[in-house]
Structure 1
Amino acid sequence: MGTDPRNAGRRDVRRIAGAAAAFAVAVAALTGRVAAHSGSLGGSVASATVPTWLVILTGGIVVGGSFLFTSLLTDHDAMRGVNWWRLAVPTPARLRRLAVSVLRVASVGVLLLVLATGFVGPRTPTRNFALLLVWVGWWAGYTTTTYLVGNTWPAVNPWTLPVAAARRLRDRLFGDSDERALPRHWGVWPAVAGLLALVFLEVVSPVGRDPRLLATVVLGYSLVTVAGAVRYGDAWFERVDPVSRVFAAYGRVAPLQRGENADGDGRVTVRLPGTALTEDPVSDRPGEVAFVVALLWVTTYDGLVATPTWAAAVDPLVGLGVPALAVYAVVLLAGFGAFLGVYRLAARKVRDTADTYVTARAIERWFAPALLPIAAGYHLAHFLGYFLGLAPALGTVALSPFAPPTTLALVLPGWFGTVKLLCVLGGHVLAIWVAHSLAFELFPGVLAAIRSQYPSVMVMIFYTMSSLWVITQPYAPPPYV
């Protein structure tokens, strides 16, 4: 008698679960009782201890959740009922335009205040409005809202009004000028390069603690953004500007989604978190998948370089005469290449296990949205404590940005480390649901859809365990920078 493919599939799942559980135990054994760290200005916030048993338990839950979703949920209609549920909230066009106008004017004012306080405000990091607003209020706090609530960046983008003004001035001086088209073969690779460059700058330079340098970077970024958007139109924000692309990607995870009704009027729909990711793969433009992987990698890299393990690895290389900046750059690019290579290898394995005619490249694009909840979960774990710890300082300084009083950071309790691990776990479980739903949309039948997820489960476990290891390391300032 032949082998039942369902039994073979169950054996594959058990092997995956066993390997992942062993890896979880190994990570826990190497970790011990350690502390999770924050990002920029991280030294201002105390660490929270994470016990060994919790790391082991988290790894077990991740594997168990993966097994549950890939083996038990096979009712396609029921899954669609969850994923397609939405509640439309019509927004009057006049009210929407008024709200957008107010937000854009306010955002321009905040940008100008950031530049002013950056150049002439106090130099103490925890008393400088520019540093606190950019790193605590914007990159940590606001970014969190884009995946927990919805992407409001198109409405609050502070460069929209300067771009519109520059376009009107150009047209008045030179007549109507046609916008140039970005080369099609570039795809979104400029945004990938921009995201990696921004994170590299944040890590290797004092931009996270020097308000003058931060203001210079913000000014330079503003000038480049305005010039690029004037020359290339809205395609600049869609394909080049890494900030806009980050928020757009995170926004697909959020429960609030922007749509259009039959009359073409904008509306907001309320959906279950992450379900918007189950409808469309990423675009087929070059670099789309790479950008999603880069978004996942850069937060991991930002945490990795602030661990004692990193310092211990860099010291011997610098001692041999290798420039420290070269080490940071090589690891940034090599890590990104490794994350991307692992994902692409998994896509080829998905094609084999599903025994499908769908190309590996198409599978890459189809399942890429499932990585976004992992990226969002790790961002939340990485920055939530950082935001909560320094939010009181930001609120105090905002009341008097040019002459702020002495500020204090909030010390988080020891149990907060549990919250950070749960953030990573929650992102992983949501990613499993998205991948499971996408598999049933792409592959016919039940068995092919389930078997296709075995490589995906392994990749998600790899990404998640990497994140768990990083956040359970004590904070150590990146050396030699």
Structure 2
Amino acid sequence: MTGNRRRRSGRPLGEVVAAAVALGALADRAAAHSGSLGGSVASATVPTWLTILTGGIVVGGSFLFTTLLTDHDAMRGVNWWRLVVPTPARLRRAVVPHVRALSVGVLLLVVATGFVGPREGVRNFALLLVWVGWWAGYTATTYLVGNTWPALNPWRAPLAAVRWVRARGDDGGRVDRDADHGAGSRVGSGALPASWGRWPAVAGLLALVCLEVVSPVGENPRLLAGVVVAYTAVTVAGSLLVGAAWFERVDPVSQVFAAYGRVAPLQRDTDGSLAVRLPGTALTEDPLPDRPGEVAFVVALLWVTTYDGLVATPTWAAAVEPVVALGVPGLAVYAAVLLAGFGLFLGVYRLAARRVRASADTYVTARAIERWFAPALLPIAAGYHLAHFLGYFLGLAPALAAVVASPFAPPASPLALVLPGWFGSAKLLFVLGGHVLAIWVAHSLAFELFPGVLAAIRSQYPSVVVMVFYTMTSLWVITQPYAPPPYV
């Protein structure tokens, strides 16, 4: 499949495949595990069995409906629509350094308040900003609005500063202050082995999620500050050693935001201008690069969202307790399930890619099909993240605002909102919305990859059952009451 792919793409199966596997009273505990990636605020207000069954029917029905849409030109008209937003390069160069400097100041404040601020979670600036403001709130903006992390990323500042100073000496000061490439490229000239691909980012993402689950980093500000310092040291050293490639292939945080950003309506075109598009349609363009670990990272992102919710359910607690009672270290149990689940997700996805190849009767390789369809998993991950964290963010937003106003002397009892009972049902809609969007992306992209109508439709059959199963699994996790896992 070569030729005009700038406006093409396709990833039906990706969503299906990965599919297979599948504060309340935060005033009492400083966002315990929910402070990291876990807590939801309300359970569904309808019977769990009905919720799960309805979700499976909705996703399956959506798939059947999309099979009736076979007008390729009409689908392209939807996927390629955009409204260009002028963004002068001079304005970007003037704004980005100031924004990044502000983010560096916030990072320093996080470390300071983590070490010397109040120990109570709902009063500590570091805990509230990292888990409520950044991981819950800001992350949602990367897929609801657009990925602004490259401009905000405080860990890019040292690399940009060193390159600017060296470039200034080389050309008398005529240099792009926001350039991470180009002038001054001698800085960070160390090379990452090509065979590594994006596997370092995969390992980093799994390690961060494991740390979040097995340690009290979500409620202990001193530990959180230590983790931030360690992460800063590794990231800054790595970026100075290998340059911007560190943020493109190693840094898991940058890669998470970049992946979510592809779902957002605000996108940057190849000429540098901003464009407003329909949500998810940017996924219908180029497939993933042909590098090791590209597909694995997308699958890992989907898996960790499920894993993080799974370990906060009573069912998980009941299953793990007897294993730990036998003398098996808790850390080993959590880590083993994390790795085994990821391996299962990835294995099922790859198996589905081979089944898609057989169903479509195509000469396109299974490896190419994997890369082509993997981005269709991203709307599912985004929908689950929104369902998992929006209520958490809204509930603690007043406390965050009060602590931001006085980081070192916060109010004794910051306010937390109690969300209405119907919000539990809204969370289910977020999950279903992500799956329905993924179906549209997958369907329209199948028509880009396979010639004719029948081959494109047949290619999606192997993933239908798996996708419905994953949807039902996701809804089951969302409807479970929150049970923070014990730290190990």
Considering Cα pairs closer than 8 Å and 6+ residues apart, tell me whether 1 or 2 has the greater RCO: 2
Identity over the aligned pairs, expressed in percent? 76
The answer on 1:150 being equivalent to 2:146 is yes
Contact 2:287 2:372 in 1 (8 A): yes
Q: How does 1:33-48 map to 2 (within 5 A)?
A: 39-40=34-35, 46-48=41-43
Q: Which residue of the other structure, out of 120, 124, 129, is the alignment partner of 2:120?
A: 124
Q: Which residue of the other structure, out of 350, 375, 379, is the alignment partner of 2:381?
A: 375
CA distance in 1 between counterparts of 2:297 and 2:316 reads: 25
Q: How does 1:125-204 map to 2 (within 5 A)?
A: 125-166=121-162, 179-204=189-214
Q: Which residue of the other structure, out of 417, 420, 425, is the alignment partner of 1:413?
A: 420
CA distance in 2 between counterparts of 1:170 and 1:96 reads: 21
Q: Secondary structure at the match of 2:362?
A: coil
The one-letter code of the counterpart of 1:199 is V
Which residue of structure 2 lines up, in the alignment, with residue 221 of structure 1? 231
The one-letter code of the counterpart of 1:469 is W
Structure with greater helix percent: 1
Between 1:464-473 and 1:297-306, the stretch displaced more is 464-473
The answer on 1:470 being equivalent to 2:477 is yes
Q: Which residue of the other structure, out of 292, 309, 312, is the alignment partner of 2:318?
A: 312
The answer on 1:270 being equivalent to 2:265 is no
CA distance in 2 between counterparts of 1:45 and 1:334 reads: 25
CA distance in 2 between counterparts of 1:163 and 1:43 reads: 33
Structure 2 stretches of 5 or more lacking a match?
1-18, 23-31, 170-184
Q: Secondary structure at the match of 2:364?
A: coil
Cα deviation, residue 465, structure 1: 1.9
Contact 1:45 1:411 in 2 (8 A): no
Structure 1 residues 367 and 63: CA distance shift in structure 2, 3 A: same
Structure 1 residues 169 and 94: CA distance shift in structure 2, 3 A: closer
Contact 1:45 1:390 in 2 (8 A): no
The one-letter code of the counterpart of 1:392 is P
CA distance in 1 between counterparts of 2:38 and 2:352 reads: 38
Per-residue deviation, residues 86-145 of structure 1 (Å, max 9, x unmatched) = 111111122122221221111111111101101110000010000000000001100000
The one-letter code of the counterpart of 2:260 is Y
Q: Secondary structure at the match of 1:150?
A: coil
CA distance in 2 between counterparts of 1:347 and 1:124 reads: 48
Cα deviation, residue 168, structure 1: 6.4
Which residue of structure 2 lines up, in the alignment, with residue 55 of structure 1? 52
Contact 1:48 1:413 in 2 (8 A): no
Q: Secondary structure at the match of 1:50?
A: coil
Cα deviation, residue 250, structure 1: 0.4
Which residue of structure 2 lines up, in the alignment, with residue 65 of structure 1? 62
Moved over 6 A (4+): 41-45, 168-172
The answer on 1:360 being equivalent to 2:381 is no
Which residue of structure 2 lines up, in the alignment, with residue 8 of structure 1? none
Structure 1 residues 434 and 56: CA distance shift in structure 2, 3 A: same
CA distance in 2 between counterparts of 1:194 and 1:42 reads: 16
CA distance in 2 between counterparts of 1:39 and 1:368 reads: 28
Contact 1:48 1:415 in 2 (8 A): no
Q: Which residue of the other structure, out of 218, 225, 234, is the alignment partner of 1:208?
A: 218
The one-letter code of the counterpart of 2:219 is R
CA distance in 2 between counterparts of 1:376 and 1:260 reads: 24
CA distance in 2 between counterparts of 1:182 and 1:116 reads: 33
Cα deviation, residue 438, structure 1: 1.2
Per-residue deviation, residues 374-404 of structure 1 (Å, max 9, x unmatched) = 0100011111111111111100100000010
Per-residue deviation, residues 307-347 of structure 1 (Å, max 9, x unmatched) = 00000000110111111110000000001111111111110
The answer on 1:391 being equivalent to 2:380 is no
The answer on 1:300 being equivalent to 2:306 is yes
Cα deviation, residue 43, structure 1: 9.5
Q: Secondary structure at the match of 2:269?
A: strand
Cα deviation, residue 246, structure 1: 0.5
Q: Secondary structure at the match of 2:154?
A: coil
Which residue of structure 1 lines up, in the alignment, with residue 347 of structure 2? 341
Which residue of structure 1 lines up, in the alignment, with residue 456 of structure 2? 449
Q: Secondary structure at the match of 1:48?
A: coil
Computed over aligned residues only, the root mean square deviation of the Cα atoms, in angstroms, reads: 2.3
Q: Which residue of the other structure, out of 427, 432, 438, is the alignment partner of 2:434?
A: 427
Q: Secondary structure at the match of 1:162?
A: helix
Which residue of structure 2 lines up, in the alignment, with residue 436 of structure 1? 443
Between 1:223-232 and 1:407-416, the stretch displaced more is 407-416
Contact 2:39 2:388 in 1 (8 A): no
Q: Secondary structure at the match of 2:137?
A: helix
Structure 1 residues 59 and 43: CA distance shift in structure 2, 3 A: closer
The one-letter code of the counterpart of 2:53 is I
State the TM-score, normalizing by the size of structure 1.
0.88
Which residue of structure 1 lines up, in the alignment, with residue 107 of structure 2? 111
CA distance in 1 between counterparts of 2:38 and 2:368 reads: 44
Structure 1 stretches of 5 or more lacking a match?
1-19, 28-36
Contact 1:42 1:386 in 2 (8 A): no
Contact 1:121 1:402 in 2 (8 A): yes
